[in-house]
Amino acid sequence: MYSPTLRLLAVLELLQARQQISGAELAQRLEVDQRTVRRYIQQLQDMGIPVEAERGIYGAYQLKPAQRVPPLLFSEAETHALTLGLLTIRELQFPVDRAIVETTLAKIERVLPAHLIHHARAIQAAISIQHDFHRQRIEPAWLMQLSLAVLQQQQVQLEYSSYSEQLSTRSIDPYGIVFNKGAWYVVGYCHLRSAIRIFRLDRIRNLASLTTNFERPASINIVDILLASLNAAPDQQHVEVLLKTSLDHAQQLISPQIATLEATAQGVLLRRGAGHLEWVAFLLLELDVPLVVLQPPALRTLIQRMATKALAMLEPLEFNKDMSAEQTN
């Protein structure tokens, strides 16, 4: 059975092949009724295809003479998705040349009907994307090379600089690539360490594909591995918070990317590592559940200091109320 998309393309091909074709013939060829044919014609017209229709019981359809049919056809939703996706890539400074994003946007506009061009430009003009992470400079070609290695399950050899700038050469089985808080990581099995490791792409100094293949473990979750590794980093403070709610409720409030959650007899134990405790404090203050900060002591001190500061902000208001009361008396 043909899908609606394939039938839509079939209508376009028939219109291009024939000077004119009746609705009845289209319906017979596509094995649909004429009402469905009219719907397909309307969809093509909405996508900017210059289809002309002759009304009447023997009505026929034809492409407008001397009109070029665009090589790509995008619906309104597809136009929105493509424009927003390219805008996000550009503003988040992904490892793609900015000029390539601009030329791609321009090419998309060239095949769009006028009203969709207006939509695409509206998205670019109206939407701003804010991010607070530092741009990580990586080689765009290496991102593609690693992606192909992941897909083909092919080993790679990389020259890697550690945090202390010590160089080492490693052969790894790349399991996947993760973008997290402005940084790109490849997760894979390191043959030098005989264990799964994570590697930041901006610390790769050289990369080469090898001819050896590997088998990726079926049950592996590269995002979980990355987050567990980052949370256990030496420069991270270990955060433990007891949430006095159910595990189901806690999972609705906190994603696995934020922290790990464990049901206990007292409630739900939240655990994660944090290099900066300020954002953890704000996160906890926004949670609409009773909770107790267990670790670290520095987080308890920080929240207490924030509470004191917040209470102090109310003092001028209380002072003004007292003054107004005295004047009334």
Cβ atoms 294, 257 nearer than 8 A: no
For residue 328, give the amino acid letter.
Answer: T
pLDDT tens track for 10-61:
888 888 777 788 888 888 888 888 888 888 888 888 877 888 888 766 678 8
How much is the pTM?
0.57
Please state, rounded to an integer, the average pLDDT across all residues of the chain.
84
Say yes or no: 216 and 272 in one domain. Answer: no
Average pLDDT in the 153-171 region?
91
Domain end among 24, 41, 63:
63
Nearest 5°: phi and psi at 321? -65, -40
Q: Is residue 275 part of a domain?
A: yes
How far apart are alpha carbons 52 and 30 in whole angstroms? 19
How far apart are alpha carbons 251 and 235 in whole angstroms? 27
Does residue 298 have a pLDDT over 80? yes
Domain end among 63, 87, 111:
63
Enclosing domain of residue 100: 76-126
pLDDT for position 1: 44
Total of domains in the chain? 4
CATH classification at residue 298:
3.30.70
How far apart are alpha carbons 211 and 215 in whole angstroms? 14
Does residue 111 have a pLDDT over 70? yes
pLDDT for position 57: 62
Say yes or no: 217 and 147 in one domain. Answer: yes
- 30: number of Cβ within 10 Å: 18
Residue 268 vs residues 110, 241, 244, 261: alpha-carbon distances, Å: 54, 8, 6, 6
Q: Is residue 82 part of a domain?
A: yes
Using 50, 70 and 90 to split pLDDT, how confident is the model at 72? low
Strands (E), 92-249: 154-161, 167-180, 183-190, 195-200, 204-213, 237-243
Q: Quote the DSSP letter at residue 215.
A: -
For residue 126, give the amino acid letter.
Answer: A
Does residue 325 have a pLDDT over 60? no
